[in-house]
């Protein structure tokens, strides 16, 4: 039995194929930053609504964005906080503590139903670096929100500031 080798183009070296594969992966990670084709208006997503809330600070918009069974995971509270009411309280308090003029999202990684947003801010001379890990339902509502923060000095300060904010009357 004779086997014929089919050639569809120049032979690819393994190192070139690795570069090509990594290029494709990078394109997938950063495809959100590529320009969209003209004439197509993308539909509003949960992530767009989150960014809208962060610009407007509209508490009603935040409430509407949260799924009734939303779960919030804090970097300083061991157990997940379950339900729209407590998730709303934590997120609106965090926005007051962290969302000053120095707050900025500096990285974004998205999937079909979520996003990881890297942020930086400065409070009392301490640079805070963290990520928001957000999951959305098919209607664009937040179902899960996890915050991770570094360094330890920032976590300790945020623990104190968030406790004060959560204890304050709404």
9-37 residue pLDDT tens: 344 454 544 444 444 444 444 444 444 44
Query: Which tokens go with 69?
Result: 């069974």
pTM: 0.73
pLDDT > 90: percent of the chain = 58
Q: Which residues pair with 149 in a beta bridge?
A: 130
The Cα angle at residue 28 between residues 22 and 34, in degrees rounded to 5 = 120
Domains along the chain with CATH numbers? 46-167 (3.10.450.50)
d(CA 135, CA 2): 54
Q: Which residue has the higher pLDDT, 130 or 32?
A: 130
Rg of the chain's alpha carbons, rounded to an integer? Answer: 21
Q: Which residue has the higher pLDDT, 16 or 134?
A: 134
Which pLDDT belongs to residue 37?
42
**How do residues 21-78 score in pLDDT, each as one tens digit?**
444 444 444 444 444 444 443 456 999 999 999 999 999 999 999 999 999 999 988 8
């Amino acid at each position: 039995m004779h086997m014929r080798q089919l050639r569809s183009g120049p032979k690819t070296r393994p190192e070139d194929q690795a570069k090509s594969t990594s290029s494709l992966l990078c394109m997938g990670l950063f495809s959100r930053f590529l320009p969209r084709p003209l004439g197509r208006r993308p539909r509003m997503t949960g992530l767009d609504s989150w960014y809208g809330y962060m610009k407007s600070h509209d508490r009603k918009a935040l409430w509407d964005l949260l799924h009734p069974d939303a779960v919030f995971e804090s970097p300083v509270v061991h157990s997940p906080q379950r339900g729209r009411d407590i998730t709303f309280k934590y997120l609106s308090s965090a926005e007051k503590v962290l969302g000053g003029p120095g707050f900025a999202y500096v990285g974004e990684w998205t999937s079909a139903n979520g996003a990881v947003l890297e942020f930086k801010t400065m409070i009392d001379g301490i640079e805070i670096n963290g990520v928001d890990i957000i999951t959305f339902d098919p209607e664009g509502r937040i179902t899960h929100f996890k915050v991770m923060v570094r360094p330890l000095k920032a976590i300790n300060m945020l623990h104190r500031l968030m406790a004060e904010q959560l204890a304050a009357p709404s």
